[in-house]
Amino acid sequence: MDDLPNSLDAALRRRAAQVIPGGLWGHLDAARLPAGYPQFFRSAEGCRLTDVDGHTVIDFMCSWGPIVLGHRHPAVEEAVARQAALGDAMNGPGEVLVELAEALVRLIPAADWCLLQKNGTDATTACVTVARAGTGRRKILAARGSYHGAAPWCSPSLVGVTAEDRAHIIHYEYNDIASLENAVDQASGDLAGILVAAFRHDLGRDQEMPTPSFARRLRELADAAGAALILDEVRAGFRLDLGGSWEALGVRPDLSAWSKAIGNGHALAAVTGAERFREAASSVFTTGSFWCAAVPMAAALATLAELRRLDGPAHMRAMGERLRAGLAAGAARHGLAIRQSGPPQMPLMLFEGDADFARGNAFCAAALRAGAYFHPKHNMFLSCAHGPAEIDAALEAAEAGFAAAAAIG
């Protein structure tokens, strides 16, 4: 850890700083986390994670989403080993591509077809391209502050990005129908698609579920304009509802972007779409050297089957509710005011009046030392490997966190 100069983690950080710009890229840079968080990990099993210095914790980030069944889940790893023994990167896809595409189309009511890629950014970018190809128009609406990936058209940073990269992106406010209607007006006849995250999960602020009227209005406006409604399921997908996060709202998208949980940690992304955009999807040129690799597809087939068998979303919801109730009780015992938001499967806890996250950071640093890896301002993730015993053990670690947060004046 970085505050222990003789640790292996600190030695690896020093070596990384020599050969990797900034030591590490993007959100995986542990320097953005409270002091004491490790940068490097040795191993992971179930819902436990061991850093390179041998400290084991109960993990509530799940690789920032991909681990939905638990680290190294046996059913997934068996499927991976079976496919690896046959071949992975070949001159084209294996049989498993068709099996997985069929499985996704069966599972997701809004899907008539699917394309596969590697990362969430590949999938959101492909959705935008297919929407433009299918409509012959240029403008894409996106909620201000929503994360859709690290490509120039959507990156949260403007460094290295040109105005031209963003020329056809128009912003609206999530859950704000008036601002959405205003953005549609601005697109005036050139609207290709409206992009929306499954729920509002912007960094450092309370999460918000979409209101039913907002979701319905998105659908109406996309239909009225002949544009695509694009649902970004990269973060929420396969945790809220296996058929799609908006199934309960009764609003179905034309295009959806998936990744993270689809292969329980194996690199895969998907775009699924409605019949109306099939021709557009077949007309765009989209590919990647590793997009046909068979092993992650085998992992995805096994992951989806296991999620269905276990009713993964229901399990994660129940465990998330147990965690949420325990955190509420712990905070109350220490006289601390907290706000918890978002779906229980992807919880976020913020301290009241903690604009600089000082209490959140103190809570997380102390809880980490006591055995639970929480995040002070990004939504966390439950997996099917979190059971009542693990939640209760994490809540004990949270006690140390609340004591540290309460000690801040």
Ligand X SMILES: Cc1ncc(COP(=O)(O)O)c(C=O)c1O
The H or E element that residue 186 is part of is helix 177-187
Provide the mask over 245-264, with x wherever binding to ligand X is found by CB under 6 A and - wherever it is not. --------------x-----
Q: Which listed range, 40-48, 188-196, 227-235, 240-248, lies at the site for ligand X (CB under 6 A)? A: 227-235
Pick between residue 65 and residue 320 the one whose CB is nearest to ligand X.
65
Sole binder of ligand X in the list 117, 124, 207, 361 (CB under 6 A): 124
Query: Is position 244 an interface residue for ligand X (rule: CB under 6 A)?
Result: no
Sole binder of ligand X in the list 120, 320, 342, 347 (CB under 6 A): 120
Neighbours of 28 (CB within 10 A): 11
CB of 235 to ligand X, least distance (A): 3
- Phi and psi at residue 227, to the nearest 5°: -100, 170
Sole binder of ligand X in the list 39, 83, 117, 119 (CB under 6 A): 119
Residue 342 sits at the vertex; the CA angle it makes with 401 and 258, to the nearest 5 degrees, is 115
The H or E element that residue 193 is part of is strand 191-197
CB of 270 to ligand X, least distance (A): 12
Q: Does residue 89 contact residue 290 with C-beta atoms inside 8 Å?
A: yes
Q: What are the tokens at 2?
A: 């970085």
Q: Does residue 255 contact residue 271 with C-beta atoms inside 8 Å?
A: yes
Subset of residues 192 to 221 that bind ligand X, contact rule: CB under 6 A: 197
Secondary structure of residue 109 in the 3-state scheme: coil
Subset of residues 140 to 159 that bind ligand X, contact rule: CB under 6 A: 147-150
Q: Which listed range, 47-55, 210-218, 230-238, 279-287, lies at the site for ligand X (CB under 6 A)? A: 230-238
Sole binder of ligand X in the list 59, 202, 232, 241 (CB under 6 A): 232
> What one-character-per-residue DSSP string does 210-274 give?
PPHHHHHHHHHHHHHHTPEEEEE-TTTTTTS-TT-TTTTTT---SEEEE-GGGGTTS--EEEEE-
CB of 149 to ligand X, least distance (A): 4
CB of 251 to ligand X, least distance (A): 17
**Binding footprint of ligand X on the chain (CB under 6 A):** 119-121, 124, 147-150, 197, 232, 234-235, 259
